C-alpha cells in the first residue's frame, strides 16, 4: 500500500480525538448542551452538563492561551474530574464550579493573596478586608470545601456543615457564615456581596461557562462531520501494489 505523506497520521489523530469525544457520553451534535443564552438563569444545584474530558479539552485547546504558569497541585484533567465527582456528591453543578475556579485563580495561575499550594480554588477566606485565605491539605479537600460553600448558598436544606445534610464531612471553614442558607440558588445571584463583591462576578463565570459549552458543542459536531470525510479522502490515497 502507498499513503500520501502525513495524511494517515493526521486522520489517526482526528480519530483518536473524536473517539475521546464520543467516550465522554452518548450525546450527538444535536444533543450536546448548547451555550447558555445571555440572561438565562443557571441553577447552582443540579447535574453537570459537561464531562471531565470536555472541560479538559476546552481548557487545553481554547485560544488565546493565558499567560503565566499553571500552578495547581494536580493536573487539570484530575482537577476537572474532582469537580465533577464532588459536585455530583452534593448535587451541585460541578462543571460550573470548575469554571468558577478558573475565574477565581486566573486559569490556575493564582497570584495575589492565594497561592497554588493552598489548594484553595475559590478564594475562600480571601476577603477584601483582612484576607486570610483557607489552606487545604489536598486538591480534593479544597474542591469539596468550594462545593459545600456553594451548597450553603444555594440549598436551604443545607442547614449545617455536617453529615447529614451533606454527603461528606465538613471541609468548608466558612459554611456557617452563609446566612440564610439558600440565599443564592442561581449562579446569577452571586456577586454584590454574595461570595464576591464584584457586580460582574456572575457574568464572568457564566460567560466562560457558555464558552466551554460552545466549544464542546462545536468539537462534537465537527468530529461527527469531518472524520468520515477525512477517512474517505485518505482512502483515495491508498492503492494496491
DSSP state of 215: H
Contact 114, 126 (CB under 8 A): yes
DSSP H or E run through 60:
helix 52-61
Question: Cα separations (Å) of 177 from 44, 173, 174?
Answer: 18, 9, 5
Q: Is 112 left (phi over 0), alpha (psi -120 to 50) or beta?
A: left
The pTM for the full model equals 0.80
Does pLDDT of 14 surpass 60?
Answer: no
Q: Binning pLDDT at 50, 70 and 90, where does residue 32 land?
A: low
Q: Which three cell numbers stand for residue 215?
A: 466549544
pLDDT given for residue 33 in this prediction: 60
Cα 69 to Cα 71: distance, rounded to the nearest angstrom: 6
Q: Binning pLDDT at 50, 70 and 90, where does residue 241 land?
A: very low
Return the ∠ at Cα 196 (arms to 136 and 183), rounded to 5°: 95
Contact 116, 108 (CB under 8 A): yes
pLDDT given for residue 26 in this prediction: 39
Cα 164 to Cα 42: distance, rounded to the nearest angstrom: 26
What is the mean predicted confidence (pLDDT) over 24-51?
Answer: 73
Q: Binning pLDDT at 50, 70 and 90, where does residue 130 land?
A: confident
Please count the CA atoms within 13 angstroms of the CA of 19 that sit on its side-chain side. 6
Q: What are the tens digits of pLDDT across the range 172-216?
A: 999 999 999 999 999 999 999 999 999 999 999 999 999 999 999
Lowest mean pLDDT among 36-45, 70-79, 157-166: 36-45
Amino acid at each position: 500500500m502507498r499513503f500520501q505523506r502525513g495524511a494517515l497520521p493526521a486522520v489517526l489523530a482526528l480519530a483518536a480525538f473524536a473517539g475521546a469525544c464520543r467516550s465522554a457520553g452518548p450525546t450527538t451534535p444535536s444533543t450536546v448542551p448548547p451555550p447558555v443564552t445571555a440572561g438565562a438563569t443557571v441553577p447552582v444545584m443540579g447535574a453537570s452538563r459537561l464531562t471531565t474530558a470536555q472541560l479538559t479539552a476546552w481548557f487545553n485547546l481554547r485560544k488565546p492561551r493565558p499567560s503565566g504558569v499553571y500552578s495547581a497541585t494536580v493536573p487539570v484533567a484530575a482537577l476537572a474530574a474532582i469537580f465533577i465527582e464532588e459536585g455530583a456528591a452534593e448535587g451541585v453543578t460541578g462543571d460550573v464550579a470548575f469554571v468558577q475556579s478558573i475565574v477565581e485563580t486566573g486559569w490556575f495561575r493564582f497570584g495575589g493573596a492565594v497561592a497554588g499550594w493552598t489548594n484553595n480554588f475559590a478564594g475562600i477566606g480571601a476577603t477584601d478586608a483582612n484576607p486570610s485565605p483557607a489552606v487545604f491539605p489536598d486538591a480534593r479537600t479544597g474542591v469539596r470545601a468550594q462545593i459545600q460553600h456553594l451548597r450553603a448558598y444555594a440549598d436551604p436544606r443545607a442547614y449545617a456543615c455536617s453529615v447529614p445534610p451533606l454527603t461528606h464531612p465538613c471541609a468548608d471553614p466558612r459554611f456557617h457564615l452563609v446566612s440564610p442558607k439558600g440565599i443564592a440558588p442561581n449562579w446569577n445571584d452571586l456577586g454584590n456581596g454574595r461570595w464576591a463583591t464584584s457586580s460582574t462576578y456572575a457574568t464572568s463565570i457564566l460567560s466562560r461557562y457558555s464558552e466551554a459549552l460552545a466549544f464542546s458543542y462545536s468539537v462534537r459536531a465537527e468530529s461527527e462531520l469531518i472524520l468520515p470525510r477525512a477517512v474517505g479522502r485518505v482512502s483515495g490515497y491508498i492503492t494496491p501494489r
